[in-house]
Structure 1
Amino acid sequence: MTISTRLNDYLSDNEVNYNLVAHPHSFNSLSSAIAAHISPAQVAKAVILEDHEGRRMMAVLPADHKINLGALSEKLNRDFHLIKEQAVYRMFNDCEHGAIPPIGDVYNMDAVYDDLLVESSELYLEAGDHSSFIHMERKDFVRLIKDAKHLRFSHQTIH
């Protein structure tokens, strides 16, 4: 189990109580949730977007949801698209490919959080590898994202 260096420093600096939870190696947040026997609705995943002016943003949503780019673009008055994977790998070079910690401030990125994430009393976040989660209480997660935008912009992909 390896936690992203930047995420570890950020959580320490913000005095966040968390547990590191091991799970079988997987390739995405949804399969990690299933492997760890955790409700995918409690797992926050990050998707990196870029708008028509080249500004990047982290969108954070439950692992069992898919982003609605049209709705998000309309609500934020920007024209978003997914950025190329190679650019994501360069931005998150302290993480395994695709295991992005879903806290924008860790990487000095603007972020928007789906309101569905705070419906659970506890959350699991990608730690920066495909073998562990950061587990924390909702109150700690809310404290970390208190200055970020939040709204509804996703829909469930599995039941």
Structure 2
Amino acid sequence: MSIADRVHRLLEEEHIPYETLRHTTSHSSVQTAIAAQIPLHSLAKAVILKDDLNDYLMAVIPSSNRLQIRQVRNFLDRPVKLASETDAQKPFSDCQFGAIPPIARAYEMPMIWDDRLSQVPDIYLESGDHETLLHIDQEGFQQLIQDTPHSNLCSQPRHESRPDPYES
């Protein structure tokens, strides 16, 4: 599969330079970072949230951290909750289950992101399958997230063996 069609189209249309990084099949952020030999804090992941109107919102955070729903609610000033994994996958029909690319614009979904991601020179993103990552530099990442709200949305880095929602 490699790169999801919508993601590939957006990257090409926006002229965002990227590289692909193949790795052995993985089904969690920790496994992906180990398989790809990259730092866990450089791997951005998508956590899909749902509001009271059943609208989806993507929170993009470093995989080394855990999303704090209370901080997200305070930042947005509205109630949100984690979407179930099945619900979270619905907008991503061109992706394998659990391999959601943290690129909300490709799916016309609102997004927020954690400030820690602006401090990492190289960002790695799920591409839509369990064997391929996208590697973009900070400038390309900023182009992807331009004009999207951001804040401190996470707890301190978690211990890498501890599970969290939507491991991808």
TM-score clears 0.5: yes
Q: Provide the residue aligned with 1:157 in structure 2.
A: 158
Aligned-partner residue type, residue 4 of structure 1: A
Q: Provide the residue aligned with 2:72 in structure 1.
A: 72
Q: CA RMSD in A?
A: 1.2
Q: Write out aligned runs for 1:1-159 (5 A).
A: 2-155=2-155, 156-158=157-159
**Greater strand fraction, Structure 1 or Structure 2:** 1
Looking at structure 1, the residues matched to 136 and 29 of structure 2 have their Cα atoms a distance apart, in angstroms, of 16
- Given that residues 89 and 100 in structure 2 are in contact (C-alpha distance below 8 angstroms), is that contact kept between their aligned partners in structure 1? no
Percent identity between the aligned chains?
34
Looking at structure 2, the residues matched to 53 and 88 of structure 1 have their Cα atoms a distance apart, in angstroms, of 15
- Given that residues 48 and 58 in structure 1 are in contact (C-alpha distance below 8 angstroms), is that contact kept between their aligned partners in structure 2? yes
Shift of 1:24: 1.0
- Given that residues 28 and 99 in structure 1 are in contact (C-alpha distance below 8 angstroms), is that contact kept between their aligned partners in structure 2? no
Shift of 1:144: 1.2
Looking at structure 2, the residues matched to 150 and 4 of structure 1 have their Cα atoms a distance apart, in angstroms, of 25
1:107-140: CA deviations, max 9, x gaps? Answer: 0000001010111111100000010100011011
- Given that residues 19 and 135 in structure 2 are in contact (C-alpha distance below 8 angstroms), is that contact kept between their aligned partners in structure 1? yes
- Given that residues 112 and 150 in structure 1 are in contact (C-alpha distance below 8 angstroms), is that contact kept between their aligned partners in structure 2? yes
Moved beyond 6 Å, runs of 4+: none
- Given that residues 45 and 102 in structure 2 are in contact (C-alpha distance below 8 angstroms), is that contact kept between their aligned partners in structure 1? yes
Q: Which runs of 5 or more structure 2 residues have no equivalent in the other structure?
A: 161-168
Shift of 1:26: 0.4
1:25-56: CA deviations, max 9, x gaps? Answer: 00022320121110010011001001123221
Looking at structure 2, the residues matched to 55 and 77 of structure 1 have their Cα atoms a distance apart, in angstroms, of 15
Aligned-partner residue type, residue 16 of structure 2: V
Looking at structure 2, the residues matched to 127 and 152 of structure 1 have their Cα atoms a distance apart, in angstroms, of 25
Q: Output the TM-score relative to the length of structure 1.
A: 0.95
- Given that residues 122 and 137 in structure 2 are in contact (C-alpha distance below 8 angstroms), is that contact kept between their aligned partners in structure 1? yes
Aligned-partner residue type, residue 56 of structure 2: R
Looking at structure 1, the residues matched to 29 and 12 of structure 2 have their Cα atoms a distance apart, in angstroms, of 23
- Given that residues 95 and 128 in structure 2 are in contact (C-alpha distance below 8 angstroms), is that contact kept between their aligned partners in structure 1? yes
Q: Provide the residue aligned with 2:164 in structure 1.
A: none
Aligned-partner residue type, residue 62 of structure 2: P
Q: Which runs of 5 or more structure 1 residues have no equivalent in the other structure?
A: none
